[in-house]
Amino acid sequence: MIGAENLVRALLAGGVEVCFANPGTSEMHFLAALDRVSGMRCVLGLFEGVVTGAADGYARMLDRPACTLLHLGPGLANGLSNLHNAMRAHSPVVNIIGDHATYHRRHDAPLTSDIEGAARPFSHWVRTSENAASAALDGMAAVAAALSAPGRIASLILPADTAWTEVPEERLPPAPLATPRARPADAAIDAAARLLLSSEPTAIVLAGSATRAEALEFAGQIAVKTGAKLLAQTHTARLSRGAGRVPVDRIPYPVDQALAALAGFKNLILVGAKAPVAFFAYPDKPSELSPPGAHIHTLARAEHDIPYALAALAHAVKADKVPVPVGGFEPADRPTGAITPEKLATLIAATLPDHAIVVDESITTGRAFLPLTGAARPHEWLLGTGGSIGYAMPVSIGAAIACPDRKVVTLESDGSGLYMPQALWTQARQNLNILTLIFANRKYQILRNEMQNVGVSNVGPVASALLDIDKPAIDWVGLARSFGVEAFRAETMDELGRRIDAGLAMTGPCLIEVVL
């Protein structure tokens, strides 16, 4: 048995059942091991950012890691943007990164690089498996690291000779389990209760597992009892929403809107969240968004047992038996005529299937989507977490593989979608139930808005040419079909409604270009 086979056995024993891969020469023995050791589902991505994004989406839905297979330092580099997002989402991911044979590194071959150095800023745990005898234990350690709260990125570098060297079959240790989440201190719960009972205006800012259905029930009880306002962190990984779910508003992205949403609160209680800050620095605008003089109290950090923390807080304020009013499914009439963001939100709310998974990278087009889709059928809404764009179509792959019985609806802006359109090919190859809406305004509208936000009032012809993507215009229907995905174009709300109905009824992927 070779080292790579022992490593695959270790990954499977640790509960890693899916490998998202873009391999090269250094990983050939790992590929061979995937044939010899059965049980791993292998999914090819044509670009490493698709691979890492898919692992993020898989982890967000199952709270357990898939592994990626990446080719040396440059392959890792191609996947780093979506590893950045996965880190911010607290997604457990195990990266297997091939490297030159240990004795070959000193020759400085063209693909030689400092892989550990490249991996560290985007990983919580990094190790090089220097010999075949240690490969299995290193793999188990990587899985254990990924499963440590609140979910972490583990990067294991596999030199080619570690992979191909013959070793005895190892007896594997017990599979690593997710580490039990620590409970916050009783003092933190008591302090939060005093703030809530003080009659001062208080907001509870939720992120991480606090925005999932179970935790939201406790948060809803607290809000009803005390009058506190529930707010979701702007960039939270997953939000349980729709009929029967406790509603929660999201702190807006634009600084002025965020300041308005937070104005007047004397206390902010953080649950799995950080104190709100602006995404960027802007001239004459604050970086910290909390109201001046507000008291900021951390009830629980992301790695804590957040459902326990909220349940204990509900008990402390005598809210644990308080009924929480939740709405039902209330579809509005389907809009007709010209396409607008508000009409898009209304149509999305009316058509989302039960327990759909929405992956949202709609950027400027979708600013109104969350406030206007709360009365949809129950669903999960996945948001960008790290600000690195091009995540939605890759994340949708992992979500669809994690939850094959649920429809995934991807809301994608055309500029962001062009970062990783190769994801469509993987969707087609795996026949995944994903409906992708491309909002085609033929420009980087968010950057046009940012020019105003940073104080640039006049966009000249040079800057304008760098903010538009209309010459030539991208044919998303042709692009999708070239990757094997059925695709359509819609230029009115009536046409879009018919296309969405057809796309949701299909088995397999479908894309609709929504012309704005």
Q: What percent of the chain has pLDDT over 90?
A: 90
Measured CA to CA, the distance from residue 516 to residue 512 in angstroms comes to: 12
Only one residue has tokens 């809009």, namely: 335
pLDDT value for 178: 74
Element (H, E) at 436: strand 434-440
Measured CA to CA, the distance from residue 272 to residue 192 in angstroms comes to: 14
Where are the chain's structural domains? 3-164, 186-316, 341-515
What b/e sequence results for 110-146 when a residue is b if at least 16 CB atoms lie within 10 Å of its CB, and e otherwise? ebebebbebbeebbbbbbbbeebbbbbbbbbbbbbbb
Nearest to 316 by CA among 191, 181, 183, 185: 191
* pLDDT > 90? residue 495: yes
* pLDDT > 90? residue 313: yes
Superfamily of segment(s) 3-164: Thiamin diphosphate (ThDP)-binding fold, Pyr/PP domains (3.40.50.970)
Superfamily of segment(s) 186-316: TPP-binding domain (3.40.50.1220)
Burial (CB < 10 A; 0-12, 13-18, 19+), residue 189, is: buried
pLDDT value for 487: 98
Residue 35's contacts (CB-CB under 8 Å, 6 or more residues apart) are none
Concatenated DSSP letters for 255-266?
HHHHHHHHTT-S
Q: Read off the pLDDT band of 106 (50, 70, 90).
A: very high
Residue 398 Rama label (left phi>0; alpha psi -120 to 50; beta) = alpha
Same CATH topology for 3-164 and 186-316: the answer is: yes
pLDDT value for 151: 97
Residue-wise pLDDT tens digits, 241-257: 999 999 999 999 999 99
Q: Calculate the CA dihedral of residues 96, 97, 102, 107 and round it to 10 degrees.
A: 170
State CA 155 to chain mean position distance: 18
Residue-wise pLDDT tens digits, 455-474: 887 888 888 888 888 889 99
* pLDDT > 90? residue 476: yes
Extract the runs of DSSP E, i.e. beta strands, from 116-228: 125-128, 153-159, 202-206
The CATH topology of domain 341-515 is Rossmann fold (3.40.50)
pLDDT value for 442: 85
Measured CA to CA, the distance from residue 100 to residue 346 in angstroms comes to: 53
Helices (H), 98-206: 115-119, 135-147, 160-164, 186-196
pLDDT value for 352: 98
Extract the runs of DSSP E, i.e. beta strands, from 224-276: 229-232, 238-241, 249-250, 267-271
Residue type, 281: A
The sheet carrying 229-232 orders its strands as 249-250, 229-232, 202-206, 267-271, 295-300
Cis before 180? omega within 30: no
DSSP-assigned beta bridge partners for residue 269: 204, 297
- Mean per-residue pLDDT over the chain, rounded: 95
φ and ψ at residue 371, rounded to 5 degrees: -60, -25
* pLDDT > 90? residue 173: no
Measured CA to CA, the distance from residue 429 to residue 438 in angstroms comes to: 20
* pLDDT > 90? residue 447: no
Cis before 150? omega within 30: yes
3 state DSSP class of 190? helix
Average pLDDT score over residue span 36-45 = 97
Average pLDDT score over residue span 100-118 = 97
Measured CA to CA, the distance from residue 223 to residue 229 in angstroms comes to: 6
pLDDT value for 388: 95
Measured CA to CA, the distance from residue 258 to residue 232 in angstroms comes to: 12
Burial (CB < 10 A; 0-12, 13-18, 19+), residue 38, is: exposed
Nearest to 92 by CA among 148, 33, 170, 42: 148
What b/e sequence results for 351-360 when a residue is b if at least 16 CB atoms lie within 10 Å of its CB, and e otherwise? bbbeebbbbb
Q: Read off the pLDDT band of 411 (50, 70, 90).
A: very high
DSSP-assigned beta bridge partners for residue 86: none
What the block records as the tokens of 265 is 């609160």
pLDDT value for 399: 98
pLDDT value for 458: 80
Residue-wise pLDDT tens digits, 272-294: 999 999 999 999 999 999 999 99
* pLDDT > 80? residue 502: yes
Residue 367's contacts (CB-CB under 8 Å, 6 or more residues apart) are 252, 253, 341
Q: What is the DSSP letter of 516?
A: -
pLDDT value for 223: 98
Nearest to 270 by CA among 197, 187, 360, 210: 210
